[in-house]
Structure formats: C-alpha cells, structure tokens
Amino acid sequence: MIIVMQADASQADIDRVVQRVEGLRLRPHVIVGTERTVVAVVGDERDAAGSGFETLPGVASVMPILAPYKVASREVQSEPTVVRAGSLVVGGTSIGVIAGPCSVESLEQIVETARQVKALGATALRGGAFKPRTSPYSFQGMKEQGLELLAEARRETGLAIVTEVVSPEDVPLVARYADVLQVGARNMQNYRLLEAVGRTQVAVLLKRGPAATVEELLLAAEYILDGGNRQVMLCERGIRTFETHTRFTLPLATVPWLHARTHLPVVVDPSHGTGHANLVPAMAAASIAAGADGLIVEVHPDPKCASSDGAQSLDFPAFGRMMDLCRRVAEALGRTLG
Ligand code: PEP
Ligand code: MN
C-alpha cells in the first residue's frame, strides 16, 4: 500500500509512519517527491490490515498499490526517475548515450574507442569484461584485467563505465570499478544476482530477458529497488520470435508501455535488438522517437576483427552518423542527446 503524507508533514511524522511499518515486519520505502512524500509499504500486506495508518499525524491517505510491482510503479512515484552515474544522465529531458565495444579486448582498443565516442557525443563507455557467452568455447572476456582497462579509459576521458556483472559473488569486485552495473538479458531472472546489485548503491542497467514479458522485467527491477538501490534503468534489447531477419525482434512499443507504468528510465539497445550494424542507426532514431531515455550501442574501432558481436558493431564514422540522426530526433522532441 501507499501512505501519502500531507504536504506539510514533518520529518517526525514520516519517521513515526516508518517505525509503525517496521513494527509490522513490513518494509517502508520513503519516496520524497517535489510536492509530498509517500511511504510505499511492501511485504505481506495482510500484516497491515487494520493498522490504522490513516489516523497518524501527517498522513493524508492510504491506498492499495494495484500493480504487482510496487516501488517501480508510477502509482508510488509520478515523477520520472533520473539516473545519474558520473558523466551519464538518463531520464527527464536527458537522453544518455552509452557506446563502446561488446568486449574489452586491449588497452589500445578501449581507450581509442572511449576517446572517439566521447568526441562524437557519447556520455558513457560500455565494455564487457565478464562476458556471458552462448558457447563455452567463445571468448569469455578479460575479467578483472578488463575492469582495469575500463578504469584507465575512464581516467583518460572522464566517461562513466557501464560493464556487466554475471554472478552474485563478482558484484563487490565489479562494483569497485563500474559506474553502472549491467545485468544482462540471460540474468534478468537471476534473483540472487538482482538482490546482490540491489544491496549496492551503484546504478544498474537491467536488460530484458529475450523470453521475458515486460511485467517480468518490472518485477525483476523490483528486486533491486526493494534492496534499497533506486538507481535502476530498464533496457529493451529485443526478444526471441519466429522472425529470422534480425538477431532478435526489437519491440519499441515497450518504451511508451513502460513509461505509462513505471517512473524508471528506459534505455534501448538497437545493437543486440537487430544484430546488424546497418540497421542500428534507424532503430536508434526510432527508439528516441518512441520516447527512450537512453541508448546503449556497440561501437568498435574495427568491427570485422571484434572478439564478439562484430556484425552488429558500428565503426566510428557510422556511430557519428547515428548520433547526428538521433540528435535531430531528440531536438524535435525537446530533449537533449548526451
Ligand atoms: C552485451 O551487452 O554485450 C550483452 C551480452 O547483452 P545482452 O545481455 O542483452 O545479450
Ligand atoms: Mn554484445
């Protein structure tokens, strides 16, 4: 349920509500809005029956949260969440652009990419150090050494680092380096991993599983939010369908659908969503037209030599053209790219 505080409720009023909620062995999430504060109460709500919150000083009203996801819901927070992680701002009027290779391969590759994508307007650098690969024989990533190279690229350019974490035990290590922890599509329903990233205060990019519904995506986000980490971005990266002309099918109706139901920002990945570099710029522009708050795009200095996902990676000139196109669409919608 949601406990809506009066506009003039004092901190003591809010603290009293929080203590009462905790006394019922439920979890309070205090959400401070521009107009008023609400306390979202999660847990087994049967424990709250007849608890009389309406009568506490400073409480305006008490309502049920109808959506199965609670803290992620627009019912709890009507204003959009803006995720800020170093140079990256995603949400509100800002459209963040995360660009870089699928995998970190060498110091030269990652620093050169960071410099080039920054010059072309990217606001964060992506690069996988721990790679979840379909085949155990494919390149698995440079692991901790790759994280060191990402940190070097950040020192050189100031770009925030977005990198994937694939298992709960790696979270403390990856969180020491990353500005944004990426939870990959294959791990969207790895609930122990979601809990582990939820215990950090590092921003999270949560990718949709290729066979997950958007409601399941929101419930996965809820694990992170319920852990206390509110800096969560949702990412549409394509789903599996009968269609074979693209690697996945990229459903852009996800973006306005999610915006109607959640305050969390939505990022689109047109690289994995299409699997073909020549389709990426148009789908990036279409994502912005659909209301996306960010893009994550694979860019490589020499895509044909990439250790992973070369076919869907843009080279620097193509990324520059994509940015020009996307900037025009963003401006037409009154938003800023980067
Ligand atoms: C990636 O970003 O390189 C990646 C593996 O993405 P996904 O989890 O969406 O497949
Ligand atoms: Mn990839």
**Residue 229, domain CATH:** 3.20.20.70
Q: Is residue 75 part of a domain?
A: no
Q: Is residue 77 part of a domain?
A: no
DSSP state string for 242-279 = S--SSSSB--TTHHHHHHHHBSS-EEE-HHHHHS-GGG
| Pair (100, 219) in one structural domain | yes
Cα 59 to its chain centre, rounded Å, is 33
280 lines ligand 1 (CB under 6 A): no
Which helix or strand (DSSP H or E) is residue 37 part of? strand 37-42
Partners of residue 84 on adjacent β-strands? 89
| Pair (32, 90) in one structural domain | no
Nearest residue to 122 via CA among 269, 319, 333, 277:
319
| Distance between CA atoms of residues 17 and 304, nearest Å | 59
| Pair (91, 202) in one structural domain | yes
DSSP state string for 109-136 = HHHHHHHHHHHTT-SEEE-BSS---SST
Closest residue by Cα to atom 10, ligand 1, is 185
Q: Which structural domain, as residue segments, surrounds residue 143?
A: 83-337
**Assessment of whether the complete model's pTM goes beyond 0.85:** yes
| Pair (192, 316) in one structural domain | yes
| 125, 126, 164: residue to mutate for ligand 1 pocket, most atoms within 8 A of CB | 164
pLDDT band at 16 (very low <50, low <70, confident <90, very high): very high
Q: Is residue 219 part of a domain?
A: yes
Nearest residue to 134 via CA among 316, 332, 298, 309:
309
Number of structural domains (the chain) is 2
| Distance between CA atoms of residues 327 and 321, nearest Å | 10
Closest residue by Cα to atom 9, ligand 1, is 185
> 29, 63, 97: which is the final residue of a domain?
63
128 lines ligand 1 (CB under 6 A): yes
- Write down the pLDDT at residue 239: 98
237 lines ligand 1 (CB under 6 A): yes
**243-252 per-position pLDDT tens digit:** 999 999 999 9
3-state secondary structure of 106: coil
The answer, yes or no, to whether residue 68 has pLDDT greater than 90, is yes
272 lines ligand 1 (CB under 6 A): yes
Ligand nearest to the CA of 236: 1
| Pair (57, 92) in one structural domain | no
Q: Is residue 14 part of a domain?
A: yes
- Write down the pLDDT at residue 13: 97
